[in-house]
Amino acid sequence: MDIIKLIPSLKSFLKPFYLADKKIGLVPTMGALHEGHLALVRRSKAENDLTVVTIFVNPAQFNNPDDLDKYPRSLDADLALLRDEGVDLVFVPEVEEIYPQPIGISINFSLLENTLEGKFRPNHFGGVAIIVAKLFHLIAPDVAYFGQKDLQQVSIISRLVSDLHFDLEIAMIASVREKNGLALSSRNQRLNEREREQATVLYQSLQFSKTELLLGTSWLDIVERAASLIAEKPLVRLEYLELVNVHDFTLAKEINSQIPQAICIAAYVGDIRLIDNILLSD
């Protein structure tokens, strides 16, 4: 497995693969890898000639400096996991390599950005779009893999690809969960035992909401009942529970079988913010 930190070395490494018309899969990550990331890696390995993983904690997507500081970092363990998976190349740039000067552009997705995560984390998606666009330019993959846990991020990135005519495919891979339903996330590492147990109410609320919605219960009623379920867990503070159109993240109040819909949740568990979602079609 090659580990590269500099952009010129990355380009030299990739050149022969472009010339030989090899299929390149990209798995962008911020490290602190878990089985959810490894599911993306395995799909990329199965579908491409070369799998590139990037590890970069992107300061531009953190609106809260404390969150950036506390974001878990475990490079040695990450590299060991990737080596075991047979990854070909890991790109691990320093911040100065990616942002040699202050960022001069901003990307705004208007409506897509102003609901749910966009609303609660101002400028977050602009920062995601900048790093993802840079990685797409630098690596020029055929397919890029993202996890369903960050569903709104997948929508934003799909929109970035179509708006800017990137010549690649976006693959969304289902969330990996612990046995108790908790979606794997690098942030889970920061949960203590009690918080981890109470965090399972996020997925329980999603399942409850989906079941009730399919039974015909009104969305308003569902939100009220799910909020009561969550209120039974003193360490959990609900931020939102919304039914959305997956393509543009407009909010819905009822099932529409003509469009893909999902239920999305965000909550603080202690001081750790977690998100999760469930597709109505699953």
Residues marked as catalytic = 37
- The mark string for 147-166 relative to ligand PAF (x by CB under 6 A, - otherwise) is ---x--x-------------
Instruction: Report yes or no: 48 and 143 within 8 Å, Cβ to Cβ.
Output: yes
Query: Total residues at the site for ligand PAF (CB under 6 A)?
Result: 10
Is 266 near ligand PAF (CB under 6 A)?
Answer: no
Taking CB atoms within 8 Å and a gap of at least 24, the contacts of 261-265 are 262/151, 263/206, 263/209, 263/210, 263/213, 264/116, 264/151, 264/152, 264/240, 265/202, 265/205, 265/206, 265/238, 265/240, 265/241
The CB-of-11 to ligand PAF minimum distance in angstroms stands at 20
| Helix/strand/coil for 260 | coil
Pairing assessment for the beta strands 251-252 and 236-245 based on DSSP bridges: antiparallel
Is 90 near ligand PAF (CB under 6 A)?
Answer: no
Is 28 near ligand PAF (CB under 6 A)?
Answer: yes
The CB-of-114 to ligand PAF minimum distance in angstroms stands at 18
Q: Which is nearer to ligand PAF, 41 or 226 (CB)?
A: 41
The CB-of-156 to ligand PAF minimum distance in angstroms stands at 10
The CB-of-227 to ligand PAF minimum distance in angstroms stands at 27
Per CB under 6 A, which region of 43-51, 71-79, 128-136, 207-215 contacts ligand PAF?
128-136
Determine the straight-line distance between the first and last CA of the chain, rounded to whole angstroms. 36
Q: Which is nearer to ligand PAF, 187 or 233 (CB)?
A: 187
Is 36 near ligand PAF (CB under 6 A)?
Answer: no
The CB-of-15 to ligand PAF minimum distance in angstroms stands at 24
Name every residue whose Cβ is closer than 8 Å to that of residue 222 and which is 6 or more positions away in sequence: 208, 209, 212, 213
SS (H, E, C) 24-54: EEEEEECCCCCHHHHHHHHHHHHHCCEEEEE
Q: How far apart are CA 209 and CA 207, in angstroms?
A: 5
The single residue among 48, 51, 58, 188 that binds ligand PAF, judged by CB under 6 A, is: 58
> Which helix (H) or strand (E) segment is 211 a member of?
helix 201-215
Locate 112 and state its tokens: 């897509």
Q: Which is nearer to ligand PAF, 34 or 225 (CB)?
A: 34
The single residue among 29, 155, 175, 188 that binds ligand PAF, judged by CB under 6 A, is: 29
Is 30 near ligand PAF (CB under 6 A)?
Answer: yes
Q: Which is nearer to ligand PAF, 36 or 201 (CB)?
A: 36
User: What letter represents residue 85's amino acid?
Assistant: E
Name every residue whose Cβ is closer than 8 Å to that of residue 197 and which is 6 or more positions away in sequence: 180
- Contact residues: ligand PAF, CB under 6 A: 28-30, 58, 61, 128, 131-132, 150, 153
